Structure 1
Amino acid sequence: MNYFMNMKFMYAALLSCIIFTSCEDDYLDITPTDRVSDAAILADSTLFEAYVINRYLGVRLTNKEGDGSVPGFGRSFEYALWSSLTDESVYNNDDNTWVIQQGQLSPENLGIAGTFWGRSYRSIREVNYALANLDQVEMSESHKARIEAELHFIRAYRYHDLIRNYGRVVLVGDNVSQLGEDFTDPALFEKSAIQEGIAYAVSELDRAITGLPEQNSANWLLGRATKGAAMALKSRLLLYGASPLYTGGSSDTQKWQAAAAAAQEVMDLDMYQLYEDYGDLFLSTGSNSEIIFARYYNLNQLHTHLEIANGPNGYGGWGGNVPLQNLVDDYEMVDGDEFDWDNAEHAAQPYENRDPRFYETILYDGAQYRGRAVETFVGAEGVTGGLDSPDGPSNWNTSKSGYYLKKFIDEQLPIQNPWGAAGLQNWIYLRYGEILLNYAEAQNEAVGPDQSVYEAVNTIRQRAQMPPLQTGLSQDAMREAIRHERRIELAFEEHRYYDVRRWLIADEVENEPAQGITITKNQDGTLSYEIKTALDGKSFSEQHYWLPIPRSEILASDNNLEQNPGYN
């Protein structure tokens, strides 16, 4: 049994209301039976470790009223993904995403992004509590050292999430660990410089690296931090910190060199390699040498119903995160040429001979899925539309773009009536493919496209059965090639939102119309293709490079907390 999830089930009911929910005035002087006291946790090493494990799962908040929980470091990976805030996809039935896609963000309405600030700082406070009290717990010094390292990793991960969403954030250090502490000091709400925040999170990871094991030696330790996980997160943070958004638009060679070195250190561990099959990478449940850090599920936990949430309407699915034509058109031809609608051969059969990752990521008209071909075409006069078009069942779930998501979807799991079905879908936070691309980008910016840059990118392309990059590329051309590779290789893995912002190109790509495709089946059986708008009003403004801090947080600070620029 997976210990990580087993411990969750054993202690979730007890620990969801743990320590920070006790009342100052005990009206009836009755000992609560629905929570665990501070004393009990600190007196029992097993309870204390369960408390630490639950910090991986994180604070369970809601995206909006009545909308499920947001566990772990992500957003539950079931309904709207972060891809549906970008030019990768739109969420078919909104799920609180359109407010961001249409540029209507405000401190009062952050849509699906509204939980980041509060849950991140609550998690940091919970980590601080554990660090402040670790010495009181009876366990071996070696075990304490590991627990302490894990807590520094979790704290760094929360700051990483805060920094990449808000930029300048409040560094509370070890100061806040109890709800009853004095929050009236204005200095408590002072925001740090961005580079100061990056440096702090990296220092936390350096502390974690010294105390974490190289690997988790047993299945019951899966999902907990390792040395490689901390090093990989450091690689990402330093890459972000060297990027134009974080440096004010300048290029600092030393920062790029540090980012390249951090990625190289992960590579030098010689513990990770690319999984042989790109599609199976996201479905594999056994040994997977590409995964560095992930959230694991097992047969004792219901899977996250990705299939019904994202499935085509003709199969009983809800559409979900539907890929945009903007992304589809960026998949190269299998020979490495760009796809071009002005090329008659490409336009006649737009889904033939594309980058193999396209077929593992996107369901398109004609794709084989669950025993039949997907049918998104509509019919010309006298012709019936396909099962997965508006002429099919549950037409309110028909894709707005003409495409459906395949990546992460397990055809062995049911679409209809999935509740009660168990699955083993794991969510990968950090994988070796990202590290190779981190290295390639940082090294290219530091010294230009040397052989090591080519090797990193071509290793990714070779796994995908794509030809190597053209030799002799300039630094600028290599930069564009690497950005393209990240777009394709990491599609739907929640990188695109942050990549286009840190590169300072979001004001270009996120102001492009959100496009889809209308495919018409003619009376003679031929198909016609017409680009359409999948979601009206897509818009991005300069202030959207960072999220606004929720108004409620500003007010709770007695207006001592500074709002991000551009938001009143």
Structure 2
Amino acid sequence: MIKQVKNISITSCLLSLTLLFSGCKENFLDVVPTDRVSDASILSDSVLFEAYVVNRYMGTRLTDKEAEGTLPGFGRGFEYAMWSSLTDESIYNNDDNTWLIQRGQIAPENTGIAGTIWGRSYRSIREINYALANLAQVPMSEGRRNRLRGELQFLRAFRYHDLVRNYGEVVLVGDKVYELGDDLTNMELFNRSEIKAGIEYIAAQLDEAAALLPSDNDNNAWKLGRATKGAALALKSRTLLYGASPLYNAATWQQASAAAKAVMDLNKYTLYTGGYGKLFITNDNPEIIFGRLYAPGARHVCLEIANGPNSYNAWGGNVPVQNLVDDYEMMDGTRVDDAKTSYNPQNPYVGRDPRFYETILYNGATYRGSTIQTYTPGGKDSKDGPSNWNTSKTGYYLRKFMNDNLPIDNPWDVAGTQTWIYFRYAEILLNYAEAQNEASGPDASVYAAINAVRQRPGVMMPVIPAGLSQAQMRERIRNERRVELAFEEHRYYDVRRWKTAPVVENTPAYGIEIGRSGNAFTYKQKEALTGKSFSEKQYWLPIPRSEIQASNNKLEQNPGY
């Protein structure tokens, strides 16, 4: 923030990158808004200042249908279309500005649901820099001051992480707080740093944050929702894993392996053993490292109505595609396309990886005291059922994250209580397995990490076969990430950093048509979303045209746009 701004909103006076360099727009009327607190008050009151820091975990609503009633956190989270519906995990039934990205039509003038990351990130960075610049003058104990400094550095690192993974080269602002009257014509203000510099900056910030942050939050209400040492190290693990990947080539696999091992060596987090599905509706469990809390009574779009089947009076939003369904192994460890598979195409949903049943609703699945019926003619969850405008285009519905104890009908004031998990221990184990395999090959520690994820209670999949080559283990790890982390906003970035997107994202988005005659079913693959397309420019998002223009065209656009 600018040092001499008259009033500062605790919830935010947010600015994009260009406004980062030109200051808040002010109303100079001599009327003090009743919803704002002066900067002098914030900087002289440790309680208000901490409230300002806490609000940096949130953002502002920048687009239609985003965060209705609940301010967005680091991403869109549960609201309408998920990030999965920009990948080969799902499609959004009613578009929600996702299809243009799936079809390769994204442009600087039309960014779909992906247009807020640049602006929100730099606005947040500006707010954080203001807090860091003024932290020393706020009256409080050194211990509390150090903790808030660690949180702010974590938050800034997270914003830069989001920028780098979406845009590649970004502008590194550093600690500078720009004020009205500063010279904004300097080209350095708009120079984008190499990806390696971005990765190194994020990692260094997280090292400093981890040294200042506590192992646990002392306030139970914020137990998972504020940064800890584990959260900082987990973000460093993901950042260096991305940095070591082929698209980035900005870190080493040894660095990525060591970063994941640092989280493991905390001996603080364990895999949840109460069942894969319950992991995502049990807000306080030992696998969660960092998450976004939702409060009962906060009116926003609830998962159950947003994604449930049409016969339940739900909207059938993010619907899984056949491509994902086919990548779930059989319970004996074989794949559906193996020569000696146990898969039966006439009974395709029997004997699959237990995580399949906790992630996807399919024809014949038990749900809320009834059975999913996507067959035709007559299936209640097909186009022949009620509310058929919400019928799944793929023949599947989303099961993961859903809490059956929450209502679908009129859920607004009681539902939406699940924590959105940003980091959990299973990701760290898979980060380690991938990085260590690339660094040293499939040694015993690689097997131990991936098998721990597969063998925990509630999953109990067979261990990975011994004697795999590095390339074979690489494919196993990648598929394990696909099914274990499905719908958790990983797939979009994984296929890009691996540079497999030209294959998987140019494969049609398939669904299934199920016919019924008596007690017999037939299964026919169909194309659920036409025109899927991926080109090289889509490794990175385009910077919105408005940002380029606001920089007087000094900000360089990503190639191909």
2:234 corresponds to 1:232: yes
2:261 corresponds to 1:264: yes
Say whether the 8 Å CA contact 1:62–1:69 is kept in structure 2. no
Moved more, 124-133 or 72-81: 72-81
In the other structure, the counterpart of 1:489 is 484
In the other structure, the counterpart of 2:542 is 548
2:159 corresponds to 1:164: no
| Pair 224,22 (structure 1): closer, same or farther in 2 beyond 3 Å | same
Say whether the 8 Å CA contact 2:301–2:412 is kept in structure 1. no
Question: Structure 1 residue aligned with 2:279, among 264, 281, 284?
Answer: 281
In the other structure, the counterpart of 1:421 is 414
Say whether the 8 Å CA contact 2:58–2:71 is kept in structure 1. no
Q: How does 1:71-90 map to 2 (within 5 A)?
A: 71-90=72-91
Deviation of the 1:298 alpha carbon: 3.2
Q: How does 1:488-507 map to 2 (within 5 A)?
A: 488-507=483-502
* Cα distance between partner residues in 2 of 1:353 and 1:344: 8
2:494 corresponds to 1:521: no
What SS does the corresponding residue of 1:530 show, helix, strand or coil? Answer: strand
* Cα distance between partner residues in 1 of 2:484 and 2:116: 28
Deviation of the 1:62 alpha carbon: 1.9
* Cα distance between partner residues in 2 of 1:517 and 1:163: 36
In the other structure, the counterpart of 2:244 is 242
Moved more, 33-42 or 498-507: 33-42
- Answer 1 or 2: which has greater helix percent: 1
For residues 30-87 of structure 1, what are the alpha-carbon distances to aligned partners after superposition, in whole Å with 9 as ceiling and x for unaligned? 2222211111111111111001000011233225799777611110413111100000
Say whether the 8 Å CA contact 2:281–2:419 is kept in structure 1. yes
Q: How does 1:34-53 map to 2 (within 5 A)?
A: 34-53=35-54
Q: How does 1:46-195 map to 2 (within 5 A)?
A: 46-63=47-64, 71-178=72-179, 181-195=182-196
Deviation of the 1:470 alpha carbon: 0.4
2:309 corresponds to 1:307: no
Question: Structure 2 residue aligned with 1:346, among 340, 344, 347?
Answer: 344
| Pair 17,200 (structure 1): closer, same or farther in 2 beyond 3 Å | closer
What SS does the corresponding residue of 2:41 show, helix, strand or coil? Answer: helix
For residues 497-532 of structure 1, what are the alpha-carbon distances to aligned partners after superposition, in whole Å with 9 as ceiling and x for unaligned? 00000000001000000000000011x320000000
Deviation of the 1:15 alpha carbon: 2.1
User: Which amino acid letter does the alignment assign opposite residue 397 of structure 1?
Assistant: N
For residues 185-224 of structure 1, what are the alpha-carbon distances to aligned partners after superposition, in whole Å with 9 as ceiling and x for unaligned? 2110000000100000111101101100011133033211
* Cα distance between partner residues in 2 of 1:69 and 1:108: 27
Say whether the 8 Å CA contact 2:334–2:342 is kept in structure 1. no
User: Which amino acid letter does the alignment assign opposite residue 91 of structure 2?
Assistant: V
* Cα distance between partner residues in 2 of 1:561 and 1:452: 45
Question: Structure 1 residue aligned with 2:528, among 534, 537, 544?
Answer: 534
User: Which amino acid letter does the alignment assign opposite residue 359 of structure 2?
Assistant: T
* Cα distance between partner residues in 1 of 2:292 and 2:405: 20
User: Which amino acid letter does the alignment assign opposite residue 474 of structure 2?
Assistant: R
Unaligned runs of 5+ in 2: 1-7, 16-22
| Pair 74,19 (structure 1): closer, same or farther in 2 beyond 3 Å | closer
| Pair 352,181 (structure 1): closer, same or farther in 2 beyond 3 Å | farther
Say whether the 8 Å CA contact 2:330–2:342 is kept in structure 1. no
Moved more, 412-421 or 108-117: 412-421
Say whether the 8 Å CA contact 1:18–1:35 is kept in structure 2. no
Deviation of the 1:18 alpha carbon: 4.6
Say whether the 8 Å CA contact 2:336–2:342 is kept in structure 1. no
Moved more, 192-201 or 172-181: 172-181
What SS does the corresponding residue of 1:294 show, helix, strand or coil? Answer: strand
Aligned-residue CA RMSD in angstroms?
Answer: 2.0
* Cα distance between partner residues in 1 of 2:149 and 2:203: 16
* Cα distance between partner residues in 1 of 2:27 and 2:234: 46
* Cα distance between partner residues in 1 of 2:65 and 2:361: 29
Say whether the 8 Å CA contact 2:70–2:298 is kept in structure 1. no
For residues 313-345 of structure 1, what are the alpha-carbon distances to aligned partners after superposition, in whole Å with 9 as ceiling and x for unaligned? 010010100000000001000000011499796
* Cα distance between partner residues in 1 of 2:64 and 2:493: 20
| Pair 241,528 (structure 1): closer, same or farther in 2 beyond 3 Å | same
In the other structure, the counterpart of 1:449 is 442
For residues 531-557 of structure 1, what are the alpha-carbon distances to aligned partners after superposition, in whole Å with 9 as ceiling and x for unaligned? 001101000000000001110000111
| Pair 167,23 (structure 1): closer, same or farther in 2 beyond 3 Å | closer
For residues 325-380 of structure 1, what are the alpha-carbon distances to aligned partners after superposition, in whole Å with 9 as ceiling and x for unaligned? 0000010000000114997961111000000000000000000001010000012x
* Cα distance between partner residues in 1 of 2:233 and 2:446: 20
Unaligned runs of 5+ in 1: 1-12, 380-384
* Cα distance between partner residues in 2 of 1:236 and 1:526: 47
Say whether the 8 Å CA contact 1:19–1:37 is kept in structure 2. no
Deviation of the 1:257 alpha carbon: 0.5
| Pair 283,173 (structure 1): closer, same or farther in 2 beyond 3 Å | same
Deviation of the 1:487 alpha carbon: 0.2
* Cα distance between partner residues in 2 of 1:361 and 1:76: 17
* Cα distance between partner residues in 2 of 1:312 and 1:79: 15
Deviation of the 1:428 alpha carbon: 0.3
Say whether the 8 Å CA contact 1:129–1:178 is kept in structure 2. no
* Cα distance between partner residues in 2 of 1:17 and 1:475: 48
For residues 398-457 of structure 1, what are the alpha-carbon distances to aligned partners after superposition, in whole Å with 9 as ceiling and x for unaligned? 000000000001111111111222442100000000000000000000000000000000
* Cα distance between partner residues in 2 of 1:24 and 1:18: 10
| Pair 63,341 (structure 1): closer, same or farther in 2 beyond 3 Å | farther
User: Which amino acid letter does the alignment assign opposite residue 54 of structure 1?
Assistant: N
Q: How does 1:402-421 map to 2 (within 5 A)?
A: 402-421=395-414
Say whether the 8 Å CA contact 1:461–1:468 is kept in structure 2. yes
What SS does the corresponding residue of 2:525 show, helix, strand or coil? Answer: strand
TM-score, with structure 2 as normaliser: 0.93
* Cα distance between partner residues in 2 of 1:112 and 1:375: 31
2:460 corresponds to 1:465: yes
Q: How does 1:288-437 map to 2 (within 5 A)?
A: 288-302=285-299, 304-340=301-337, 346-379=344-377, 385-437=378-430
TM-score, with structure 1 as normaliser: 0.92
* Cα distance between partner residues in 2 of 1:66 and 1:305: 11
What SS does the corresponding residue of 1:390 show, helix, strand or coil? Answer: coil
For residues 213-242 of structure 1, what are the alpha-carbon distances to aligned partners after superposition, in whole Å with 9 as ceiling and x for unaligned? 011133033211000000000000000000
User: Which amino acid letter does the alignment assign opposite residue 531 of structure 1?
Assistant: Q
Deviation of the 1:175 alpha carbon: 1.4
Deviation of the 1:297 alpha carbon: 2.1
Deviation of the 1:174 alpha carbon: 1.0
| Pair 329,46 (structure 1): closer, same or farther in 2 beyond 3 Å | same
User: Which amino acid letter does the alignment assign opposite residue 531 of structure 2?
Assistant: G
